Chain A
């Protein structure tokens, strides 16, 4: 295919600069030895990273977010695998409704979900409960898992399962030995994308976390609205690092372009 012209390449460079600049500056400022938000012009320092690890609120929020993301991603996969099989493999009344319901968190603003869950939690006396927070996160990450699984199951040659049946395998064996291994990239890819989305979620969580369950993004939001110092940059750099690791993993197991581009 023909190559891009010079104007196209300049345009492209500007776009890349635009996309990377805010992330780059955060990571640079995190290493500043100064007391103010400034680029590390006089050498690099890890003092603000140390400050983060000594800040009990950030540490606690980090663990909250990590557990929340691990639990909600795992449970979302556990719920989504059978549901995706049901939706793709069977024709039944209510199939369209269920499909729309499972994907609905993608088009309902998280803000609306946040206030709605706050109302529910207040009525059932669950405000501040970590378990309910996990449930809320399962709901918002399940659609991502569902989409990858539905794509994986739809692109699946049913005759492979038929071959296993014809060779004498029971339904449980076919699922364990054939179906599951074949949709495994979709399952792991879905788990990772769910993990990242849960770990990053701010808008809904800000309504339904309590002081003891505050997640890292919520903690950062609160912190940033009050005071800004390089510690924010250090936390941000840590998050950029974690996300980068997750992205590389995702790219390895599933192919990032497939996940992101397959989204729409």
Chain B
């Protein structure tokens, strides 16, 4: 009944204000930035004009950029892997808790998501700083003071802290959909607890793990504040060099090229996921 021909324009009128805003502030700037990445850049004057693919060529051939892309990929992949290793069991443990503990700890694990990432990065820099509690503990154990800040390891730890909720949420959601009787059924057939988890629970929450992994990987690869605050001047990642190109070197076309590549990589990962994984699992698990 909603498709009555006389009322056809109504949905367009209703969505027009939002659509106009999104057209002006999402589509237009993205197109402008894509165009900008093909402009030549004059270092002397800062003018941008003409057409060139030189920025893409240098990003894809210069070892400086390649190293940064490779590091970003490595850091994001490690952060994702650790999130799976911590987040999946934690979600499972949470789902087996009774209320009110379940709600309380769900809040504890998820709420940091809502605290500014700058605050959390700052917290980690204090925890891992030369005078921080982690170093104090290491000294007490006789390991001596260690330089923890400004390393890949610190960036990964902080990224895991920021991203863990994004892993727990989808896994938790798929665990909620899971009928507890299914696991009990497996146990009733004589399966051990481990077998029940591996053979019955794991396959059903796999889509949740995959979806969480993609979100974590995508957000980690484009993370800015964590490497910016905890990576120091040397440990550059993709997001921080875009920032440098734009606000220090003022080479906008170069920064635009890196940003476009980052966006493209992100979209390819997300869309592939939607096509392949979701289609497959939707069919099997409805």
Please tell me whether chains A and B touch each other in their complex, using a CB distance cut-off of 8 A. Answer: yes
Which residues of A are at the interface with B, using a C-beta cutoff of 8 A? 1-4, 8-9, 11-12, 15-16, 18-23, 25-26, 29, 36-39, 79-80, 82-83, 85-87, 89-92, 94-95, 98, 101-102, 104-105, 107-113, 115-120, 123, 135-136, 138-139, 142, 196, 199-200, 202-203, 206-207, 216-217, 220-221, 224-225, 228, 232-233, 236, 239-240, 243-244, 246-247, 251, 256-257, 260-261, 263-264
A139 close to B21 (CB less than 8 A): yes
Which residues of the partner chain B approach A247 to less than 8 Å between Cβ atoms? Answer: 107, 111, 114
- Tell me what chain A mostly uses at the interface: helix, strand, loop, or mixed: helix
The contact size tier of chain B is: 35 or more
- Tell me what chain B mostly uses at the interface: helix, strand, loop, or mixed: helix
A108 close to B263 (CB less than 8 A): yes
- Residue from the list A11, A104, A217 in contact with B116, Cβ < 8 A: A217
Nearest B residue (CB) for A219: B118
Q: A19-B108, A115-B33, A115-B242 are in contact. Are A85 and B22 (CB under 8 A)?
A: no
A92 close to B11 (CB less than 8 A): yes
One of B24-32, B54-62, B63-71, B139-147 contacting the partner: B24-32
* Shortest distance between the CB of A104 and any CB in chain B (Å): 6
Is B211 located at the chain interface by the 8 A CB criterion?
yes
Which residues of the partner chain B approach A257 to less than 8 Å between Cβ atoms? Answer: 103, 106-107, 110
B19 close to A12 (CB less than 8 A): no
A240 close to B115 (CB less than 8 A): yes
Which residues of the partner chain A approach B212 to less than 8 Å between Cβ atoms? Answer: 264
A94 to B23: give the CA distance in the assembly, Å.
13
Is B277 located at the chain interface by the 8 A CB criterion?
no
B105, B113, B119, B126 — which one has the most chain A CB atoms within 10 A of its CB? B119
**Quick one: CB contact mask for B69-112 with A, threshold 8 Å, 1 for yes?**
00000000000000000100110011011100001011111111
A246 to B8: give the CA distance in the assembly, Å.
40
A233 to B21: give the CA distance in the assembly, Å.
37
Which residues of the partner chain B approach A36 to less than 8 Å between Cβ atoms? Answer: 131
Q: A11-B90, A200-B116, A200-B117 are in contact. Are A139 and B133 (CB under 8 A)?
A: no
B89 close to A225 (CB less than 8 A): no
B239 close to A111 (CB less than 8 A): yes
A120 close to B28 (CB less than 8 A): yes
Which residues of the partner chain A approach B180 to less than 8 Å between Cβ atoms? Answer: 1
A79 to B161: give the CA distance in the assembly, Å.
33
* Shortest distance between the CB of A201 and any CB in chain B (Å): 9
Which residues of the partner chain A approach B252 to less than 8 Å between Cβ atoms? Answer: 115, 119
Is B172 located at the chain interface by the 8 A CB criterion?
yes
Q: A105-B26, A107-B218, A115-B259 are in contact. Are A79 and B108 (CB under 8 A)?
A: no
A221 close to B22 (CB less than 8 A): no
* Shortest distance between the CB of B119 and any CB in chain A (Å): 4
- Residue from the list B114, B118, B247 in contact with A243, Cβ < 8 A: B114
